[in-house]
Amino acid sequence: MKKPTINLLLTLLFFVGILGCGGGQSKIDEIKAKTQKAPSDPMAEWQSNKGIGPVKSLILPSEMDPELIASGRQIFESMCSACHKIDKKFIGPSPKDILTRRTPEWTMNMILNPSEMVQKDPIAKQLLIEANGSPMANQNLSEEDARAVLEYFRSL
């Protein structure tokens, strides 16, 4: 046998011996836990993120408002549908089931304040990366219009 092959074989036998002894795997897991700190995932921490903008707190009624839905749909179709598709990711993410991924406040702040959001909010920064650097356009909607769009999103 060649010398590098013998060294490799001895190394493998050493690790097999460690794993074969009681507690070997738990020791390896302990070492991994100490050396591999998971990076913070902003997308996983969305429930506490309200975004950056004028909407600080929003309590949604249990019943949806049909007139608000109709208004929101009209606004969405005229101002948002070039980049957002209901059933799939396009340039931007799909708004369907958005409130299972984002808070209502975050969603409205993204609609109302997209420039600052992509600069300062960790989730918006990640979405900008996923959109290949295409920022969301500020449509200069009022809070009432943004709330109508949110109501439309709730209805999807």
The confidence score (pLDDT) of residue 96 equals 96
Q: In 85-110, which positions are buried (b, 16+ CB within 10 angstroms) versus exposed (e)?
A: beeeeeebbbbeebeebbbbbbbbbb
Question: Does a structural domain hold residue 147?
Answer: yes
Question: Does a structural domain hold residue 31?
Answer: no
For 89, list phi and psi in degrees, rounded to 5: -70, 135
Question: Does a structural domain hold residue 34?
Answer: no
What amino acid is encoded at 124 in this protein? A
The confidence score (pLDDT) of residue 2 equals 52
Question: Does a structural domain hold residue 48?
Answer: yes
84's CB contacts (< 8 A; 6+ apart) are 76, 90, 91, 92, 93, 94, 95
Question: Does a structural domain hold residue 36?
Answer: no
Q: Which domain holds residue 77?
A: 42-155
Question: Does a structural domain hold residue 14?
Answer: no
Query: Per the structure, how many domains does the chain have?
Result: 1
CA distances in angstroms from 16 to 20, 30, 46, listed in the order given: 6, 18, 42
Question: Does a structural domain hold residue 2?
Answer: no
- pLDDT per residue over 90-135, tens digit each? 999 999 999 999 999 999 999 999 999 999 999 999 999 988 888 9
Q: How far apart are the first and last CA of the chain?
A: 68
User: Which CATH number do you get for residue 119?
Assistant: 1.10.760.10
Residue 132, classified by CB atoms within 10 Å of its CB into exposed (0-12), middle (13-18) or buried (19+), is exposed
Consecutive sets of 10 residues in the chain, 156 residues long: mean pLDDT of each? 58 54 55 48 78 95 97 97 93 93 96 96 92 92 97 97
DSSP string, 66-134: HHHHHHHHHHHHHHTTTT--SSS-SSS---TTGGGTS-HHHHHHHHH-HHHHHHH-HHHHHHHHHTTT-
Question: Does a structural domain hold residue 77?
Answer: yes
